[in-house]
Structure formats: structure tokens, C-alpha cells
Amino acid sequence: MTTQHLEKKRENPSQTLFSSFHEIVSNSNQDLTLENANVDGRSPLGQMNKFASESAKAYAKEYLLSNEALEAMDDNFIHIHDLDFMATGTTTCAQIPLGKILKNGFNTGHGYMREPKTISSAMALAAIIFQSNQNQQHGGQSFQAFDFDLAPYVNKTFEKELDTLKSYDLPISEERMKEIAWDETDKQCYQASEAFIHNLNTMHSRSGGQVPFTSINYGTDTSKEGRMIIKNILLATKKGLGNGETPIFPIQIFKMKKGFNFYEADPNYDLYQLGLETTAKRLFPNFSFIDAPFNYEFYREGEPDTEVAYMGCRTRIMANRHGEQTSIERGNLSFTSLNLVKIALISNSVSEFYKTLEKYTNVVIRQLYDRMCFQSEKSAKDFSFLYGQGVWKNSEQLGPNDTVGKILKQGSLSIGFIGLAECLKALTGKHHGECDEAQKFGEEIVSFLRQKCDEAAEVYDLNYSLIATPAEGLSGHFVKQDKKEFGEIDGITSRNYYTNSFHVPVYYNIRVIDKIKKEGVFHKYTNAGHISYIEVDGDVCKNIKAMDRIVKAMADNGIGYGSINHPVDRCHQCNYTGVIDNECPKCGNDNEEKIDRIRRITGYLVGTMKQWNTAKASEEEDRVKHS
């Protein structure tokens, strides 16, 4: 729908809007003010953002959505993500070409940044790039090849240190000078990594309400310089922030590849082991798998740009109908999710279920197209960093007054889904964790959705794709409305949340390997993004071999992107970080208000569970450990 077709949909939307305003002012609705766990919705600027968000949603509903999309949303069949940003015409996320931007220099609007000469400057500018781009998108951003992109600046630092040593005319050999120069470069690389992490956990964007939502991918650069980047970012993460806090950002993804870091004889195997030690203490890095067939098909040896990259929550983009098939300089334009549970609850047969599922999938396909048409009308000058500094592929071809439609075609339009487990329970009486027949049926449903995406890609000649939805606020929103309509149905609407995407329910006891196998089959269908978690108990720092076995099992069973969850708690009184049951094992503190319990919410971390909405808090409480 373009700006020339704006028309008012309903006569009196103000009552609902002002009701939301009252809840914001009174802080009476935690699910509204804490919709995003990393934004303090109670703070003055957080409240202002919520006022803006609710107003923008109301505007979009009245003027920007088609009647069929509005009706489907009001009837709880679909959820349009980031609807509050729709009127701005911005996109969801991007894989930023860090190396290119550092090499060419960039302008943040207040002055030109030239190419850095040292690793310290390069990492400082990398943080600024993240922050500058954050205000031009409603989702996250990522560096696709963090190690490869920064390696040249490690070398520049080494050359500078070596030149300085040579100027002193020291009575030592050149080989010894090189050793000293590399040692000093290593120290500077660690300090730069530490500063980078500190910056990304303290630099607020979006009116002071949120630090940039950032991810970095690394792990396959085997050069001396690249290895130094990987090693030091892991060491700085492992150490933690000033008082030992676990860094929330950047989300870190260690790229696994046989021949690079998978086997003991591989050149970066030692860094993979350090990655396991780090995730055992800090929950990051997560692990992606280049050798998964749907990732490997794009891979070309010796070309880092062809390595798969993920955004922290799960977003993935590779296939491209309008250009090179890589992640770099591209991202998701927008996505909308289907409520599989309600579709199942109103269906009296499997054939009726598929008929209804197809109906609402078609609604989503058209709604995503309409939204892209609206985005395409925006001018390049409206996004001075995203398109003006070469973040998005081919954006350098645009003049300030050019519209952006011709370059947006390289992005993806994604259909998401939530509640496969509850959907199967409604249709068969069992979810896929408990029954192989339900598992097979679940695969057929997800395969059907992928087929619909592929058909839409052909019809519209756009990159339609299927995403395993990262549901935070949505996990409670859908079930809350369905419970009003259908009542409380055991195993379906009886909890405060629906199970995320294709996951086996968090409350279901299942072995690690069985969970990996059951969820692994869905990764190949969800080409817009996916993640699988394993919940482990206790202090996993003492059992790195078990962590290694889990990662290898993921690699062997079709997982594209996975992570390992475990308790990470911190005592405010003594800064102890580890597992805290009822009281701190170091100082005896038993005041829950003085203990941070860091957990993964949808793919990213939250510094304290006090900021979770009720649905996700209920889900976390139900999580069982996988044996």
C-alpha cells in the first residue's frame, strides 16, 4: 500500500490508544512497558518511546494496513512485527560490511571518519558504526566476518610497533623486534576488544532507551591477525564488564567449519575450545554451522563473504534473486507471524486446517508486499547512514532524492510462525516431543509454509522466506487472546505463553540428543532464520567436554544455529558470578533484589530477569534441564 492510497479504516481508535497511555503513565501493565526486556519502559525516555510506539501502531492500523490484514490481526491470526515502525519505512536488520566501511571511511552526520591506523581505533569506530546504524532500523545489525574485517588493523598496529622499535636502534635482532611488536600488538588487541564490549553495553541509542542491538560473527580466519581478534574478543568477554557483569551485547556467533576449527588438528581448534570455555561462563558465543547443507550450498572456499552469518536472535539471509547470494550488505525488510494454534483450534479436520493456514499465509504474503511498497517510496536521504554510507548493497548508486525500492529487492520478506507444539496438540492430542507421528505432521506443516514462501518468491520475484519466529511479547499476546475465545485448554492455552516456533516445549523432559534431532529437521525449512537451545544444569565451566559433545551433536543433526543455556547469576555485594541458588556461595547474600539472574530470552541476553514480561518469565520458570 503506497502513501497515495491512505484511507482511514475505523472511526474511533482513540479509546484503545488512550487506554494504553493510561497504562504507560501508571506503569500498571508490565507486558506493555516491558515488551522489550532490554528497554526500561518505566524511565522517562522509555515512557516517551512507548507513547510514540502506541501512537504509531494506531496510525498504521488506521491508514497503512489493508482491510484483510487489519482483520486478520484483530482476529488474532497474524502478528505484524514492529508495526510501530511501519510508518517510518525503515527495515528490520542488516549485515554491515565493516571492512568496507572502515576502509572507505564514513560520515555520521557531524564529521568524516577516515580509515583507522590501529586496532584500537578500528574497534572504536566499529562501535560507532553500530550505534549510527541502530537509529536507522527497528531491528538489529551484525558484522558478518568480524575477524576478517579487523585483521588488517591488527597488522597495521604490528607494523607501527615494529617501526617504533626500529627507530630506537636497539641492540637486538629483527626477529626479536618482531616478537616484541607482536606481544605489544596482542596487548593492544585485548584492550581494544575490552573497550569495544564496554562501549556496546553502555552506549545508548534510540533516545537513551536501549543500547545498540548488535551481533558479531567470527571463527574461521586462520591468519595470525585474525586469530588474535578471535582470541581477544573471547578473553574480554570471559573477563566480563567492570564489576564482572556478563556482557549482554554484542551477541557473539562462533562459525563452526570442518577444516578450520572443528577437529583437534584444525588450526582454530584451540579458539573453539576457548569459545566453549567462554560460553560456559558468559552464555556467549552461540554456534553456527557452515557445513549444514543449507548453509554449505552458498559457501566458496577462500571467500569469507560466502560464509553464513546470523543475527543474534536467529535472523539469516543468504539466497538472493537480485544479486550475489551472501549475507553481507543485506538484511530482512520486515516479517509477520502466523498463530498456528488458533488456526488449529478453529479447524475440524486436517484439510480444513491447511485450507485456513493457506488463507492466512496468503494474507501475510500480500501484507509483506504492501509494506515493502511503502518502504520503497522512501528517499535515500531519509536514511543517511544505512543508505548514505554503503551499509546496504548498491546504496552508493543512489542520489539523496532517489527512492530506495530498487536496492531493497536484495532484502528478504519473512513469514514467521509460533506455537507448532500447541498446534499439534490441538490437532493430534500430542506435541512433537512426545510422538513421532506428531513430529512427522509438524514437519509437513513447516514444509507447507516453506513451499508457500518459495511460491511467493516466484510470483513476486522477491526474497520471500520462512522464519522460526523469535517471540518475546508475542509469546503471551497470542495465547492471552485465544484464552478469551476458547477458554483454558490443557496443554494448549493453559500456560501464559505459546512455545516458540518449532521448539519442543520448554517444560517437556527430553534428552539432549533427542531434542537436537527433533528440532534439527526444521532448520532446513526456515531459511530466514532459526535457533535451537539446550538447557543444562549447574556450573558447566567444570564440564567443557559435555559442551563440546552438544555442539558436535548439533553439527551432526542439521542444526544451522544453536546455543547452550545455563544459569549465570551475579551477586551485587561481592560480584561473584556463577550459579547462585538461595544464597551467594561466596558472601552468603540471600537478598534476591541484590542478585542478577541472567538468562537468554529469545536469542539475546537480559541483564536481569526483573525486566521480563509475564509470558517469558513464566516460560523461563517452566524450563527443564535436558539430560
- CB-CB contact of 229 with 151 (8 Å): yes
Q: How far apart are CA 5 and CA 464, in angstroms?
A: 24
Nearest 5°: CA angle at 75, between 72 and 81?
60
DSSP label at residue 210: B
Overall number of domains in the chain: 4
370 and 392 inside one domain: yes
Predicted pLDDT at 3:
47
Q: Does 406 share its domain with 276? A: no
DSSP secondary structure code for residue 321 in this structure: T
Smallest Cα–Cα separation from 332: which of 144, 526, 474, 137?
137
Residue 617 cell numbers, joined: 518469565
Strands 94-96 and 141-143: parallel
Identify each DSSP E strand in 340-389 by its residue range. Answer: none
Residue 207: partners with Cβ closer than 8 Å, 6 or more residues away = 45, 48, 49
Is residue 291, in this structure, part of any structural domain at all?
A: yes
The answer to whether residue 593 sits within a structural domain is: yes
Rounded Cα distance between 417 and 288, Å, is: 22
CATH number of the CATH domain containing 414: 3.20.70.20
DSSP string, 468-516: E---SSHHHHHHHHHHHHH---TTTTSSSSPPPTTPPPTTS---HHHHH
Same domain for 43 and 153: no
**Helices (H), strands (E): how many in the chain?**
20, 17
Alpha carbons 387 and 385: distance in angstroms, whole number: 6
Residue 178 sits at φ, ψ, to 5 deg, of -65, -40
Nearest partner of 37 among 484, 447, 603, 483, judged by Cα: 603
Same domain, 270 and 123: yes
Whether 437 maps to a domain, the answer reads yes
* Residue 219, φ and ψ in degrees, nearest 5: 135, -15
Q: What pLDDT, on a 0 to 100 scale, did the predictor assign at position 316?
A: 97
DSSP symbol at 205: B
The Cα-based distances of 323 to 277, 319, 374, 398, 463 in angstroms read 39, 9, 22, 17, 11
Separation of alpha carbons 302 and 548, rounded Å:
26
Q: Is residue 325 part of a domain?
A: no
Whether the CB-CB separation of 308 and 560 falls below 8 Å is answered with: yes
Q: Which of 98, 43, 41, 57 is nearest to 218 (CA)?
A: 98
pLDDT at residue 525 in the model: 98
> Are 432 and 424 spatial neighbours (Cβ–Cβ below 8 Å)?
yes
Q: Which among 311, 343, 377 is the end of a domain?
A: 311
Q: Which three cell numbers stand for residue 601?
A: 530470552
CA-atom Rg of the chain in angstroms: 24
- Which residues does 363 contact at the CB level (< 8 Å), separation at least 6? 68, 69, 72, 77, 78
Same domain, 82 and 100: no
Phi/psi region, residue 156 (left: phi>0; alpha: psi -120 to 50; beta: rest), is alpha
Helix (H/G/I), strand (E/B), else coil: 177: helix
Q: Are the beta carbons of 98 and 126 closer than 8 angstroms?
A: yes
Of 278, 311, 344, the position where a domain reaches its end is 311
Q: For residue 107, tell me if it sits in a domain.
A: yes
Q: How buried is 62 (Cβ within 10 angstroms: 0-12 exposed, 13-18 middle, 19+ buried)? A: middle
Q: Which residues pair with 141 in a beta bridge?
A: 94, 214
The domain boundary, picked from 530, 558, 592, lies at 530
- Residues 318 and 467: their CA atoms lie apart, in Å, by 13
Strand, helix or coil for residue 136: coil
Q: Give residue for cell 517510496.
A: 377
DSSP state letter for 397: G
Pair (342, 236) in one structural domain: no
The residue written with cell numbers 514437519 in the block is: 443
Residue numbers of the domain that contains 583: 568-626
Cα–Cα separations (whole angstroms), residue 577 to 131, 354, 581? 29, 49, 12
Rounded Cα distance, 240 and 244, in Å: 5
Grid coordinates given for 70: 487489519
Please state, as a whole number, how many other Cβ atoms lie within 10 Å of the Cβ of residue 589: 17
Supply the pLDDT for residue 7: 52
- The DSSP output letter for 464 is E
Give residues with Cβ within 8 angstroms of 85, minimum separation 6. 56, 138
Residues 6+ apart with CB under 8 A from 151: 221, 223, 225, 226, 228, 229
Q: Same domain, yes or no, for 185 and 40?
A: no
| Rounded Cα gap, residues 45 and 11, in angstroms | 30
Q: For residues 376 and 447, state if they share a domain.
A: yes
The confidence score (pLDDT) of residue 109 equals 79
| Cis peptide, bond prior to residue 250, ω within 30 of zero | yes
The Cβ of residue 440 has, within 10 Å, a number of other Cβ atoms equal to 11
* Structural domain contains residue 558: no
Q: Are residues 489 and 598 in the same domain?
A: no
154 shares a domain with 78:
no
Q: In the chain, which residues have pLDDT < 50?
A: 1-6, 8
The gap from C-alpha 434 to its chain's centroid, in whole angstroms, comes to 29
Q: Does a structural domain hold residue 289?
A: yes
Length of the chain: 627
- H/E segment holding residue 373: helix 350-376
* Same domain flag for 86 and 101: no
Cβ pair 171, 98 in contact under 8 A: no
Residue 224 lies in a domain: yes
Place of cell 552526520: 109
DSSP 8-state class, residue 286? E
5: DSSP letter: G
Q: Are residues 86 and 174 in the same domain?
A: no
